[in-house]
Amino acid sequence: MTAAYELFAREGIQAVGVDAIIERSGVARQTLYRHFDSKQQLVLAFLERREQAWTHGWLAAEVRRREPDPQRRLLAIFDVFDEWFRTPDFEGCSFINVMLEYPAPTHPLHQAAAWHLAHIRAFVAELAADAGIAPPDAFAAQWHILMKGSIVAAGEGDQEAAIRAQEIGRALLARVGASDGPDQVVKATRRVPA
C-alpha cells in the first residue's frame, strides 16, 4: 500500500502498472492479489488512505492547529496551501487527478474521487457553520471551487496561487458578511505582486 500510495500520488493511476507497484514494494504478485482483487481495488484503497492522510491528517488538522478563530480558519486553508504549493514535491490533488484520468461520471474511480472531494467540501461547510455563515453548504461549494482552482493553478506553476485565492476568499467572506478583522495573522495579509 505504501508503494502504491507513493506511485499513484506522484505519477497518477493510469501511468502506474501493477508491475511497478510490485517492484517498488518487493512483494510477490500473489501477495498483492491476496489483499487486492484488482488494481481498481488498490486505487480505491489509495484514495481512502489519501483522505485519511491528506484531508484529515494534514489539511483539517493543520487548519485547526494554526487558527482558533472560525472565520480565519477558512483563510488559513490557503496559508496551508501556500506552503504545500511551494514544496519541491508538490503533486496536486489526487482526487482531482483521478477524476481527470477517469472522466466518465459512472466510472467507479471517478465516483470514489468525487465522494472524497465531497468530504473536503463537508469540512469547509463545517468551518463555515462554525463561523456563522449561512447557508454553510452553499458557501462551502463556492469556497471549494476556490480551493480546487488554486490547486490547478499551482499545478500550472503559479506559486502565488494560494495567496491569490486567499484574496478572493476575503472578498467572498465580505460578501457573506464575515470578516477576518484587522488583527488577522501576518501571513494572511501578504499580497500578490502585480
* Residue whose entry in the numeric block shows the C-alpha cell 507513493: 6
How do residues 7-41 score in pLDDT, each as one tens digit? Answer: 999 999 999 999 999 999 999 888 888 899 999 99
Is the pTM higher than 0.85? The answer reads: yes
Asked if the model's pLDDT at residue 193 lies above 70, the reply is: no
Residue 150 sits at the vertex; the CA angle it makes with 175 and 147, to the nearest 5 degrees, is 55
- CATH number for the region 39-189 comes to 1.10.357.10
3-state per-residue secondary structure call for 89-116: CCCCCHHHHHHHHCCCCCCHHHHHHHHH
User: For the segment 119-139, what is each residue's pLDDT rounded down to a tens digit?
Assistant: 999 999 999 999 999 999 999
Cβ atoms of residues 131 and 145 within 8 Å = no
Q: Which of 41, 31, 63, 28 is nearest to 109 (CA)?
A: 41
